[in-house]
Amino acid sequence: MSKDLLGWHLLPREDWDRALSAALDHKRMGRVTSTVASGRGICLMFFNSSLRTRTSMEVAAAQLGAHVSTVTPGSGVWGLSFEDGAVMDGAEAEHVREAAGVLSRYYDAIGVRLFASLSNLEQDRSDRLIERFAAGADVPVVNLESAFWHPCQELADAATISSHFEGHTAGKKLVLAWSYHPKALPMAVPNSAVMMAARLGMHITIARPEGYALDPSVMSMAGDAAASSGGSLQESTDRLAAFEGADVVYAKGWAGSGVYVNADVEAERRRGLTEWRTTADAMRRTNRAAFMHCLPVRRNVVVDDAVLDGHDAIHLLQAEFRLHAQKAILEMIWDLDHNAR
């Protein structure tokens, strides 16, 4: 397998299947610590804020016996320049080539969180910045959420759904419910969500307003993955009709593709879409759907209190699975014996 986890679509399917099985196994085992990764270390670089990804990876590494350092480029460690041939006379004091090369000599893996620019579509679509990090590193690089993908969330989400339905995910209906958010959010989570649901053989409906389609490259890949798993992928601009008969509602906001053309125009359009919120009324149209959100979530903006505090919300289980999935990912990239305790 590849040394990196930049996106599950870049790895063989058997790596995904094995990691999903391992994440479910970690959930079954509970809080078991081991020394299987003793002597190894991982450096986590957060260019953007995080609660779950940072802490779950720190705890996962610790429970496997590994050392963790967490750094924030530009705050306590040098800001990084990514461009080849850059004349570095600005704020960034270090180039990614040196940073990745140096960390490869201290650590056995590097995790990187680096969100989308939302201004340069080709850079975001190609995940160019995290690819540059991986190109400069001699150890595995784990994507902790890049411009286009969030593979740690993707694995945790699949494990959550699989656990909730006791493995019977094929044929279930998942609605990816676009949600109003005051900020322009990147597409990494929704991109990853459609891919994981497609691999689980689910019937996916993306409920979203005009102008908020996911990238055609992702739609094409997810459509193929769904078809080969016995599922399907469709879109609807009828928010409430899309909820009919759903088994899972996954709420998430993301910026429209117009953000790459004119961010002010996209923001103005988004401000007119506040009714795109998951309410208890909307949930009553479903097949008592499990409610999911990757978190952090804005209460009563993205989803009403009544849904989050109701019996069908599984967002905290979903967050718990972040820890189980991180352990499975560390085992995969370091080729550790999952059964060693």
Residues that bind ligand CP (CB under 6 A): 50-53, 145, 153, 294-296
CB closer to ligand CP, 53 vs 162: 53
Nearest-approach distance from CB 145 to ligand CP, in angstroms? 6
Distance in Å, CB of 293 to ligand CP, minimum: 9
**Beta-carbon contacts of residue 339 (< 8 Å; ≥ 6 apart):** none
| Closest to ligand CP by CB, 246 or 294 | 294
The continuous run of DSSP H or E covering 61 comes out as: helix 52-63
**What is the DSSP secondary-structure string of 311-333?**
TTB-HHHHHHHHHHHHHHHHHHH
Smallest gap, in angstroms, from Cβ of residue 55 to ligand CP? Answer: 8
Distance, in Å, from the CA atom of 333 to the CA atom of 142, rounded to the nearest integer, reads 8
Residue 14 CB, shortest distance to ligand CP, in Å, is 26
Residue 178 DSSP SS3: strand
In the complex with ligand CP, which residue's Cβ is closer, 53 or 179?
A: 53
- Alpha-carbon torsion, ordered 154, 239, 257, 202, to 10 deg: 30
Least distance (Å) between residue 326 CB and ligand CP:
11
Q: Please state the closest distance from residue 195 (CB atom) to ligand CP, in A.
A: 16
Q: How far apart are CA 217 and CA 209, in angstroms?
A: 19
CB-nearer residue toward ligand CP: 142 or 336:
142
Q: Return the number of the residue (27 or 173) whose C-beta is nearest ligand CP.
A: 27
Q: Is 185 helix (H, G, I), strand (E, B) or coil?
A: coil
**C-alpha pair distances (Å), 168 with each of 88, 159, 322:** 54, 12, 21
Nearer to ligand CP, 272 or 296 (CB): 296
**Sole residue written with tokens 């593709």:** 257
3-state helix, strand, coil in the chain (%, to 5): 40, 15, 45
